[in-house]
Structure 1
């Protein structure tokens, strides 16, 4: 995997982002803007991020992608979702101006820090990255950060700190994480995803192995997860730390107490020693594991044990991670980024443990390949909810060569209905949901817009 040299930006002043509103672009925009670079951008879709960049950061953002948008740029950055036939990308490549993919820029940024903590795994990356970022801030470590979702504590999803510590969400999609420079790697879990690229689970495990081996200092991994353990087999020259629910791990919890489905208290143990109590303000057993991995990374990075334990309670969630949006007609509306069966399962189990009458899952399937390859798994986990409503599949970067449609998933779920538009979904759900119910929108596309429609439904 080729890395960009550390001084690549030294002669650059004007950086243009194609797809500047993307969740992977926004944190890099915030960091480079904070460093003094002149930023411009374009996007096809309006949204909160575009509004923030225009109004709060005074960044010129054009809606719609045209060749003339790149004028004056010294560097052009694009997302993986931008197709090769995009007129702006074509113009960029023909211009002679250096043009790179977002993952290359992220890899470059990670190389600037002596203690870069890279959070990887198929599920839980954003929550754990956001949690650790806030913990470092609480501990006075002044980190830089790249988070895949919005974190209220940093006013967005990127942060430029003054220390040599960086927290980075490192995604395995198309091996993008292999472009990073991890000093500490946290492997939360390894599961079958992005099979349109990896083809097999064994190939995914092999990529995580490469990531662990390229880490310079410490690998912190889920000792309960078979695939994570396979991924680190044969990794040498690093400090190896395990976390999990089982007492065989280096770090593990005991005396777990859940309160009202929203809060958790547990004792954290290390090699049989009780380090102290942890209070979490995010729901679900999966967040116990996320917090243990974050605490262990904080301790490895120089936080005191007591600081690391107490700082975990400050985190109250990241944007689009079981985010309570509000209430309408006595119905609570929440939004979650979950787009893989394992994520949806964790979210819906957490929702069912809360004190709501019934749980409605409004799911927007994301990419035709994932929906087709994991169809039965999606059907199984969505049935955890009392009611399931689907939108059509958001294809994103793909064309529907799989001949897969929302109806194919709906047919496998008893009582499931599906609609083509968010307006139809909103009207259906809000005319059928009862006071005391929870409606949670699920997906990594734009299904959050449906949550906003339901909140506004008269």
Structure 2
């Protein structure tokens, strides 16, 4: 099942003058940045100003705040994100004038064309793995172009133009748009049911990844530990693709001896050697091993990639440190699927064990989307049971309207912890004080969710500092 209309990519130099509707978004602004660095004339519009908008203006883009038909008068190509409604006046004007209109993913395919394209896909871990690969390649002098769904801590950017031949991109499956990419090398971290508001049923999710593999040029790297990812080997074999696996069950890149190392992680790749990461969690050991597999295919030496992985300090909102007060450390995570919550909470427990051994993990979770909450309420409850205490906010609806009977309470009542260790906090403003009342020296607080829960980290640190 494809949720998008496939568009043949147009070479970046043939796009002409490009106008982005919603240019301030993370994905859109990254592609605009790369085009600007290639000398393409870029204009755009967004509902509000931002730091990203200001950066694009400094690079030479003309950016309008607010939408109006007149903004597309000089455009040869108009790029739209999935957030743009059909009623948008700029989109309407472009269609009326017969201007080429393409989705964000098609624009990404255009800037990847002509490079050795590496796409990282999967239900979880895309941003971290894409960021890891980018930093590792940078550290060994490959200087890739890249486009990530988050921001690298090392550069503060989510996308940039490099001088090397490699282009590394995160491939987003949420709306099926990764089917517009045709990478030379693809890495699939895992495949699970998600985005069912778009796909309708889990089978359609798996089918979309099958179709993605059919668009890969030469190599598919998959996780042997994940059944959904491992199943793609059969599709790849039918196409004659080279396949490499990684994981604790892999015959190609086998991971052993994973253990916490302070805030980081140590592990061994059999036949290669030991790797030390500055980020926590067994899932990051897998992500890093996937990077080694891709780097091998690119002909890069393991020793240099290992040093690059050691230099990786994370991506924004991926177990990102927000501060510490009163002996309590606060982190923030974009985790919004049960598997992601479980991985981050296990990583938090590893960090606690490395430092004090008797600290607790306090999870502050904001469910994202009413549909996802309805689909996965039981699984969210089970994942939050890995914490010592859980605070559940109300649902962040994002693009969805509220559903009767669907709220954060659905998740809170399913958390497998003593009732006294679970709080439902529909008023977000009460959470910093609630956390400060419960936290004690040696604890870790982890805010989780794809919504505005990220705002709470600094507020929690500030509240803790007053106690």
Using structure 2 for the length normalisation, give the TM-score. 0.88
Alignment of 1:286-365 (within 5 A): 286-355=283-352, 357-365=359-367
Per-residue deviation, 1:419: 3.6
1:434 to 427, 435, 440: 440
Q: Which runs of 5+ in 2 are unaligned?
A: none
Contact 1:18–1:78 under 8 Å retained in 2? yes
In the alignment, which of 232, 239, 242 is matched to residue 239 of structure 1? 242
Alpha-carbon distance between aligned partners in 2 of 1:58 and 1:434, rounded to the nearest angstrom: 50
Q: What is the aligned partner in structure 1 of residue 36 from structure 2?
A: 33
- Matched position secondary structure for 1:151: coil
- The corresponding residue for 2:278 is 281
Q: Is the 8 A contact 2:363 2:448 kept in 1?
A: yes
Matches within 5 A, 1:435-454: 435-454=441-460
1:37/1:453 Cα in 2 relative to 1: closer, same or farther (>3 Å)?
farther
| CA distance in 2: counterparts of 1:64 and 1:29, whole angstroms | 18
Contact 1:151 1:157 in 2 (8 A): yes
The CA deviation string for residues 382-441 of structure 1, in whole angstroms up to 9 with x for no partner, is: 122222223322222222356522222223233433344543323332344333322211
Alignment check: 8 A CA contact 2:130 2:170 kept: yes
SS of the equivalent of 2:351 reads coil
8 Å contact from structure 2 (residues 333, 447) kept in 1: yes
Q: Deviations over 1:318-340 (max 9, x none)?
A: 11110101123443221111111
Distance 1:94 1:391 in 2: 44
Question: Is this contact kept in 2: 1:328–1:454, CA < 8 A?
Answer: no
Q: Is 2:163 the counterpart of 1:159?
A: no
CA, structure 1 residues 208+216, in 2 after alignment: closer, same or farther (shift >3 Å)?
same
Correspondence for 1:424: 430
Inter-CA distance 198–341: structure 2 relative to 1 (3 Å threshold):
same
Contact between 1:220 and 1:242, CA under 8 Å: does it hold in 2?
yes
Alignment partner of 1:265 is 2:266: yes
Matches within 5 A, 1:27-426: 27-44=30-47, 48-50=51-53, 52-53=55-56, 57=59, 59-70=61-72, 72-113=74-115, 115-235=116-236, 236-246=239-249, 248-260=250-262, 262-269=263-270, 274-355=271-352, 357-401=359-403, 403-413=405-415, 414=419, 415-426=421-432
C-alpha separation in 2, matches of 1:410 and 1:439: 17
2:399 is paired with a residue of what secondary structure? Answer: coil
- 8 Å CA contact 1:265–1:277 kept in 2: the answer is yes
Distance 1:407 1:255, change over 3 A: closer
Query: Which consecutive unaligned segments of at least 5 residues does structure 1 have?
Result: none
Q: Which 10-residue stretch deviates more, 94-103 or 306-315?
A: 94-103
Deviation at residue 241 of structure 1 after TM alignment: 0.7
Q: Is the contact made by 1:170 and 1:177 (CA closer than 8 Å) also made in structure 2?
A: yes
Q: Is the 8 A contact 2:109 2:181 kept in 1?
A: yes
Alpha-carbon contact 1:255-1:267 (below 8 Å) kept:
yes
| Partner residue in 1 for 2:7 | 3
- Spell out, residue by residue over 1:285-318, the C-alpha distance to the aligned partner (whole angstroms, 9 max, x if none): 0001100100110110120232223322111111
Q: Is the Cα contact below 8 Å between 2:392 and 2:423 reproduced in 1? A: yes
Measure how far apart 1:456 and its partner are: 3.8
Q: 1:91 to 1:11 in 2, by over 3 A?
A: closer
**Aligned-CA RMSD value:** 2.4
Moved more, 413-422 or 365-374: 413-422
